[in-house]
Structure 1
Amino acid sequence: MMGGRSENPDLWTFLESLHCGELISGTVAATERFGVFVALDDGPDHPVFPGVGFITIPELSWRRIEAASDVVQVGQRVSCEFLQFDTWNLEARLSLRATRPDPFQTFADGIAVGQKLHGHVTKLVPFGAFVQVGDEVTVVVTEIDRERRRLALSRRQASSEQQ
C-alpha cells in the first residue's frame, strides 16, 4: 500500500476534495495494458505513478478496444469525469467515455420495439447469435435494454410476416 494521509497529505486532501461526476483535465502521462495514467492539471504529483488520474481500459471508450493507444496517446490533453477516489493506490479513477455520448443510447433513441432491422450474423453462441446492422438477415426488435446496452432481436417474428 502507498501509505495513508500522513505520508502524502497534499495528495490525500486533493483526492478527498473531488466529487463524483466532476470534470477533471490533465495530460496522458503513460499508457499501460490495464489503463492510462493522467497527470492532472490541478492536483499534486503522485509519489509512485506517472499521474494521479487513472482510466481503466473499459472507461476509455464506448467501443470495445484492444489497447489504450487506440484511443489516446501520451502527451494528449484529456477532460474526464471523476468516478471515485481509489484510497488503496491513492489515485483518482476517471472515465473518458462518460464525457462522450453513448452510441448505443443514440441508436436506441431512433428505433422502436417491433421495428425491422437488417443485419449480418457475426457470432453464434449457445443462447443465440450476435448481429451487426447491415444486410443478410432480417430481425425484429423485441426488446431494448438500455441498462445493459443490448437489443433483443427475433428472426421468427420477421420471417413469419414474410410468408
Structure 2
Amino acid sequence: MEVIGFDGADVLVSLTAPEGANSEIGRIPSHEVSLRRVEHPSAIFQVGQEIDAEEIGRWGGGQLLLSARACEIPALRSFLLSIEGGQVVTGTVAGVHNFGVFVHVDGEPDGLCTGFIRLPELTWSRIDHPSEAVGTGQRITAEVIMPETRSGQVTLSLKALQEDPLVRLADHVGRLVTGPITKIVSFGVFVELAPDVEGFLHLSELTNEPVETPAHVVGEGELITVEIAEVDVRRHRVRLCAAEGRGT
C-alpha cells in the first residue's frame, strides 16, 4: 500500500486494487503508526512511500483501519505469528515489576523482550508483588495466552500450567476446617484452608452483634473453625460460613 497523505496524526494510504477496480483508501490511526514514540507520522513516513500494514477493522462509516506498527519489525512479526494460544514456551525472566513480569522468550529476535505475565497469571496463591513468585534471571515454562502483533508482545501464564488447588476442595462442601485468618477486610476475613487455598468468611458469619469491622471480633493469625459453604472453581472462590456455635 502507498502513503497518500496525513489527516492530523493519522496516515492515509491507498490499497492496491485488482485490475479494473477502484483502489480503497485506508487509515492508520496515530496510535497504530509505530511501536516507537513519534511526534508525527511524517517523521517516519513520506507521501508516495510503499509500506506494509495489518488490517484491524473498519470504522462505523466503513473506512478500513490498519496497523503499521504490527508490521514495523518483520522479524518480530514473524516470531509472533509462529506462536499460538495454548502453546507452551520457555524463557528467562527479564524484569519484575509491581504490574507484572517481562520475559525473554526463547527464539525471540535479538535485542527484544516479547513476553509478559500479568500479576494474576503468576500463581494461584494470593501474592502482593510478583517478586513473591519469580525472580530476575529465573528460567520459566509458561503457556501462551495470546501473541499480539500490534503490541509486539506475547502474554503468558505460569498459572495455566499449575494445578488449581480448588479442584481438591470441590467435593469438600459442608466440611469443617480449622485454619488461621490471613487477612481482615472491612466486610469479612480470609481464612487459610490448605496450602495456596483461602476462603472468605463474611462479617455477618462472624457475629450477630453490630460491629464496624471484623477486627473487633477476631485478629489476623487467629485460628478459626469454619464450614465450607461453596467452592466455585470457575471463579476461583471459596465461600465460608460459621461453624455451629460461632456467630452467636
Verify same fold: TM over 0.5: yes
| Partner amino acid, structure 1, of 2:245 | S
Distance (Å, rounded) in 1 between the aligned partners of 2:236 and 2:175: 17
Corresponding residue number in structure 2 for 1:158: 244
When the two structures are aligned, how many residues end up with a matched partner? 153
Corresponding residue number in structure 2 for 1:69: 131
Distance of aligned partners of 1:45 and 1:104 in 2 relative to their CA distance in 1, 3 Å threshold? farther
Name structure 1 gaps, 5 residues minimum. none
Corresponding residue number in structure 2 for 1:35: 100
1:60/1:95 contact within 8 Å kept: yes
| Sequence identity percentage | 35
Corresponding residue number in structure 1 for 2:178: 118
Please, which of 225, 230, 244 is the counterpart of residue 143 of structure 1? Answer: 230
How far is the alpha carbon of 1:151 from its aligned partner?
A: 1.8
Q: Deviations over 1:96-154 (max 9, x none)?
A: 12122222323x15x5222111234442533x433233974332222111112222222
1:55 and 2:120 are equivalent in the alignment: no
Distance of aligned partners of 1:65 and 1:131 in 2 relative to their CA distance in 1, 3 Å threshold? closer
Distance (Å, rounded) in 2 between the aligned partners of 1:124 and 1:58: 20
Distance (Å, rounded) in 2 between the aligned partners of 1:148 and 1:83: 18
Distance (Å, rounded) in 1 between the aligned partners of 2:184 and 2:175: 22
Q: TM-score, normalised by structure 2?
A: 0.54
Name structure 2 gaps, 5 residues minimum. 1-33, 36-67, 195-221
Distance (Å, rounded) in 2 between the aligned partners of 1:53 and 1:86: 10
Alignment partner of 1:30: what SS? Answer: strand
Alignment of 1:6-17 (within 5 A): 6-17=71-82
Alignment of 1:66-145 (within 5 A): 66-106=128-168, 108-109=169-170, 111-121=171-181, 122-126=183-187, 128-133=188-193, 136-145=223-232
How far is the alpha carbon of 1:6 from its aligned partner?
A: 3.3
How far is the alpha carbon of 1:8 from its aligned partner?
A: 1.0
1:29/1:37 contact within 8 Å kept: yes
State which drifts further: 58-67 or 72-81. 58-67
Distance (Å, rounded) in 2 between the aligned partners of 1:28 and 1:129: 34
Q: TM-score, normalised by structure 1?
A: 0.78
How far is the alpha carbon of 1:86 from its aligned partner?
A: 2.9
* Rg (Cα) greater in structure: 2
What is the Cα-based RMSD across aligned positions, in Å? 2.5
Runs (4 or more) in structure 1 with deviation over 6 Å come to: none
1:11/1:46 contact within 8 Å kept: no
2:81/2:149 contact within 8 Å kept: no
How far is the alpha carbon of 1:46 from its aligned partner?
A: 5.6
